[in-house]
Structure 1
């Protein structure tokens, strides 16, 4: 780690204020040019502790930057991750207040509900499938507290992997008959399809992304706990949304979820 503890605390505070006021801030890497990825995860952890101290709890995890185009854009060769708190989960077909976000976008994903913990290292796709009780179509609302989405890997990691909220559909019991790599997602805004993609866009298979996360978290002494869910990464591009929009995601074999922005 390159930053001092006080710099890490200060950076976390800047992001916390930006989130609370829904007013984005400039790149942290501009303010702290020596910040590395380890510092970024330390900043993320400070704000997690802040939320837990306020009575919120972790119900899931998210994986970002799973697609090759996004990795190329930020000049990285692996995904990143963040946490999902209880008050970040929205009901299907509910209304989200657009003004609570800075610059929201939506992505279609598969969520994995775990019946058994996963703790790395050496977690395999087979382990993920054995530990999964159900999967669901989900719509992630990604949001960047960094102004104009002009960010680096370090900026987005510090900003909880640009997490905003999630809409999770009905849980479908998991079985080997569900070929998630071959499943197709459709992302729609106001009834019009804006993008479509296959599960294979997510590191070849969404279950591979969950295994990657379990192994990565082990470096921080953390596991994926039973009862938690994992957002495994987007099948498509992320589309911006505005107040009044209705966004929906459909994944073959899993159903449809939607959310209205008011």
Structure 2
């Protein structure tokens, strides 16, 4: 069967619904390029909205050098967030709807004003922010072993799974976002750390990048929306039984329990 935008969107959403993983689409559709992959991403969003989900913001992926090295890609990407992805604080990792979740700490912006490119600078982007929160993103690639090319992960909505917001929201004027630090703790042991500088040098640079990239595709970041600016560190696995915590300098802590084993479908090939 010939690959196209509709087929790719159907395959990826089916993998998500059945909790099955698969090889990268580019193994079978090597012609898939980044622009077409964004068309797939937009089609999956259209279907999510048609089934009742609500668009609440955007996320950036692969904004830190650590993430780019791990995933063997060279540039960030932008993807969509819906209300179905927001997980309440204190709720375990939703193993019953994820394949192989990993968790990473992020800085999250809540927008006060609409932000639209092109030509948005980091200073302009930051001026449009109302509050900054800590965040924990639970990523969950539909590709086996997280093996993919850049077009693959763009089509897959940047491995979006779920996310949690931290307890403290501060005005950006009250923070030095390049120095806002996080300690990553797994089962009581600190395994990693980073500061906001890991995200494109400053998280506002990631926000500006998102606004400018979305403008190229005819979109903007709206007032009230959330923006996940990208993982500050590499992601850590979040299997059943794990305990993961992210401790931020000024934005509080997020504790995540790995949850329980859930029945899953057989893997697809």
TM range (shorter): over 0.9
Considering fraction of residues, name the structure with more strand. Answer: 1
Return the alpha-carbon distance in structure 2 between the equivalents of residues 185 and 28 of structure 1. Answer: 35
- Contact 1:134 / 1:171 at 8 angstroms: preserved in 2? no
Corresponding position of 1:156: 153
Q: CA deviation at 1:176?
A: 2.3
Corresponding position of 1:19: 16
Q: CA deviation at 1:258?
A: 1.9
3-state SS in 2 of match to 1:10: helix
1:89 is aligned to 2:99:
no
Return the alpha-carbon distance in structure 2 between the equivalents of residues 20 and 75 of structure 1. Answer: 27
Return the alpha-carbon distance in structure 2 between the equivalents of residues 131 and 219 of structure 1. Answer: 19
Return the alpha-carbon distance in structure 1 between the equivalents of residues 74 and 46 of structure 2. Answer: 28
Q: CA deviation at 1:232?
A: 0.4
96-105 or 116-125: bigger deviation:
96-105
1:61 is aligned to 2:58:
yes
1:46 is aligned to 2:43:
yes
Spell out, residue by residue over 1:234-256, the C-alpha distance to the aligned partner (whole angstroms, 9 max, x if none): 11111111112222212111111
1:218 is aligned to 2:215:
yes
Spell out, residue by residue over 1:144-201, the C-alpha distance to the aligned partner (whole angstroms, 9 max, x if none): 0011111111111000001110000134231423101111111122222221111111
Spell out, residue by residue over 1:176-228, the C-alpha distance to the aligned partner (whole angstroms, 9 max, x if none): 23101111111122222221111111000011100110000000110000010
Return the alpha-carbon distance in structure 2 between the equivalents of residues 30 and 53 of structure 1. Answer: 29
Gap regions ≥5 residues in structure 2: 260-269
Q: How does 1:162-173 map to 2 (within 5 A)?
A: 162-173=159-170
Return the alpha-carbon distance in structure 2 between the equivalents of residues 109 and 76 of structure 1. Answer: 19
What is the TM-score with the length of structure 2 in the denominator?
Answer: 0.92
1:108 is aligned to 2:98:
no
Count of residue correspondences: 258
3-state SS in 2 of match to 1:225: coil
Return the alpha-carbon distance in structure 1 between the equivalents of residues 226 and 208 of structure 2. Answer: 13
- Contact 1:249 / 1:256 at 8 angstroms: preserved in 2? yes
The alignment yields a C-alpha RMSD, in angstroms, of 1.5
10-19 or 71-80: bigger deviation:
71-80
Q: CA deviation at 1:118?
A: 0.3
Q: Select 1:189's aligned residue among 182, 186, 191.
A: 186
